[in-house]
């Protein structure tokens, strides 16, 4: 997988004067069945989250409130996405290193994942990840 496989997903929006609604359906709006959902909040100023890659897991990352940057690296190229709309999700395939930075005050990051938590799916050392990415990733 590579940075080229990462993309913004424009989620459906139903506009209503009483408040807007967005919904997400696994295997329809994201290319996987959603197995886990978690969220990050109250991230102190200047702190970063992420700092890892996944061997198999795919994700959709959404800024439910506020904004933050998602810095991506596939071992040979880098790209940064700024998320600041609750109706945009960032799709991340497997084997892409990610750092979440520049959290605005009150921001909430929601992540939908294709797998349940499995520690063995993580690359937490960048050099180990980069070596695996050069070899085709696994």
User: Is the Cβ–Cβ distance between 67 and 82 less than 8 Å?
Assistant: yes
Which range marks the domain in which residue 80 is found?
3-134
Is it the case that residue 118 has pLDDT exceeding 90? yes
Q: Of 1, 22, 35, 52, which one is the catalytic site residue?
A: 52
Do strands 36-41 and 49-54 pair parallel, antiparallel, or not at all (unpaired)? unpaired
Q: What tokens were used for 2?
A: 């590579």
- This prediction has a pTM of 0.94
Question: Is 29 assigned a catalytic role?
Answer: no
Given this model, what pLDDT does residue 135 score?
Answer: 87
pLDDT digits (tens, 9 = 90+) for 58-79: 999 999 999 999 999 999 999 9
Confidence of residue 20 (pLDDT cuts 50, 70, 90): very high
> How many domains, the chain?
1
What CATH number corresponds to the domain at position 95? 2.60.120.10
Instruction: Estimate to the nearest angstrom the gap between the alpha carbon of 23 and the chain centroid.
Output: 17
């Amino acid at each position: 997988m590579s940075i080229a496989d990462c993309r913004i997903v424009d989620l459906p929006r139903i506009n209503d004067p009483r408040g807007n609604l967005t919904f997400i359906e696994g295997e329809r709006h994201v290319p996987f069945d959603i197995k886990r959902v978690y969220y990050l909040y109250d991230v102190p100023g200047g702190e970063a989250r992420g700092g890892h890659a996944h061997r198999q897991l795919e994700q959709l990352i959404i800024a439910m409130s506020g904004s933050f940057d998602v810095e991506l690296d596939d071992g040979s190229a880098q790209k940064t996405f700024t998320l600041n709309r609750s109706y945009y999700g960032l799709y991340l395939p497997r084997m892409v290193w990610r750092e979440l930075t520049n959290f605005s005050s009150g921001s909430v990051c929601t992540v939908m994942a294709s797998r349940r938590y499995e520690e063995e799916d993580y690359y937490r050392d960048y050099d180990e990840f980069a070596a695996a990415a050069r070899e085709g990733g696994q």
